[in-house]
A and B are shown apart, each in its own frame.
Chain A
Amino acid sequence: MCVVLIRSLLLYLLVIFAVRLMGKRQLGELQPSELVITILVSNIATLPLEDVDIPIVVGVTPIFALVCYEVIVSWVSLKSQKLRKLMSGSPKIIIKDGKIDPQVMRDLRFSVDDLMMSLRGKDIFDLSEVQYAIVETTGSISVMTNETTNCDPPQVVVSDGKIVVPALKNLGLNEGKIGRVLKKASAKMSEVLIMTADTEGNFYIADKSGAKPIIINNYKF
């Protein structure tokens, strides 16, 4: 009994350390890989608690291994958009300019009931109020209503110094135009942390040094 008590305390401390090692990302909305790790860690942690024949080292090794893999993979994902997309997927636009995309709903296996339930969770009971809705990689839905704006929300066109080609195509932009905007803002592509653009010619540029972001409104090409 005493042995079980001490093992419980040790495992509690070790699991807390492991969860803290994963960091704040784990405490908010969970990405698919984070959800998998959370479920696995909670199941694995019970095994040495229930069975004293399992050494503590053997019990916590998979916990720490999984957590460390997750931290390292998420760090590598910062550098690689392809890996990020592979691990977490990408957000899907389910309602654009007030129009529902049935193909995206089929791809996501999102029924009409699921859509209405998600919108009600955002206090929206009338579909006609919705200008834009995105299903995030966590499964949650982000909504922009007609009250806020009548145009589509800004999209990320440069991420961590690299052009996001699909976003450029959506907005009818190209690398040359982005280059001109950056020149006006006296910024270099390689130094850009994030750059967003919308259909109205509004740009937001934040660089990697953490300086105040540059906002350009109604830019005409």
Chain B
Amino acid sequence: MTRVKISTAILAVLLVSGIFSWVWVNRNCMNFVNSIYAIEENFVAGDTDGATKKAENLERDWSDFRKTASMFLRNDKLLEIERLCSSLSYLASSGSEDLPVYTEELRHMITLLRDGETPYLRSIL
């Protein structure tokens, strides 16, 4: 009976951790996607300084997020997104026409990351 109790407790902990990971990753990814939209808006409006500042904030926030998320998520996915984030501030400050391509790719990867942690049927299967 002790083993059953320990097993039930472990399963409960795993379930709570799973739900926490899902909610936390989801919330943070939504915030990052919104930040990317904000960068694009500033860039399209010609406000390169605003876009650069937001890109730097995004890079910093992502780095903080990655340090904790690396305990729950595969590191290679997180590093790939970090690579894209680190390119954004340079592209924004230089007014490069490649910025929308990078932001689209970044948004797509963050959305995939979020979907991977959400228990949709397609994610499970």
Report the separation of the CA atoms of residues A68 and B4 in the bound assembly, to the nearest whole angstrom. 8
B74 near A58 with CB under 8 A, answer yes
- Number of A-B pairs, beta carbon distance below 8 Å: 47
**For the side of the interface on A, what is the size category?**
10 to 19
A67 near B71 with CB under 8 A, answer no
B10 touches A (CB below 8 Å): yes
Report the separation of the CA atoms of residues A75 and B3 in the bound assembly, to the nearest whole angstrom. 9
Report the separation of the CA atoms of residues A64 and B13 in the bound assembly, to the nearest whole angstrom. 11
A108 touches B (CB below 8 Å): no
Report the separation of the CA atoms of residues A191 and B1 in the bound assembly, to the nearest whole angstrom. 20
Which of A53, A64, A65, A72 has a CB less than 8 Å from the CB of B76? Answer: A53
B7 near A68 with CB under 8 A, answer yes
A55 touches B (CB below 8 Å): yes
B72 touches A (CB below 8 Å): yes
B74 near A67 with CB under 8 A, answer no
A116 touches B (CB below 8 Å): no
B71 near A68 with CB under 8 A, answer no
Within 8 A of A (CB), among B1-49: 1, 3-4, 6-8, 10-11, 14, 17-18
Of all chain B residues, the one with the shortest Cβ separation from A64 is B10
* Known contacts A21-B6, A23-B3, A71-B3: A57-B71 contact under CB 8 Å: yes
B57 touches A (CB below 8 Å): no
In the assembled complex, which residues on chain A have CB atoms less than 8 Å from the CB atom of B73? Answer: 55, 58
B14 near A65 with CB under 8 A, answer yes
Of all chain A residues, the one with the shortest Cβ separation from B21 is A57
Binary interface encoding of chain A residues 15-31 relative to chain B, with 1 for a CB under 8 A from any of its CBs, else 0? 00000011100000000
* Known contacts A64-B10, A64-B14: A55-B71 contact under CB 8 Å: yes
**How near does chain B come to A62, taking the closest CB pair, in angstroms?**
10
B94 touches A (CB below 8 Å): no
Per CB-CB distance, the 7 closest pairs between chain A and chain B, nearest first, are A68-B7, A71-B7, A53-B75, A68-B11, A75-B4, A53-B76, A68-B10
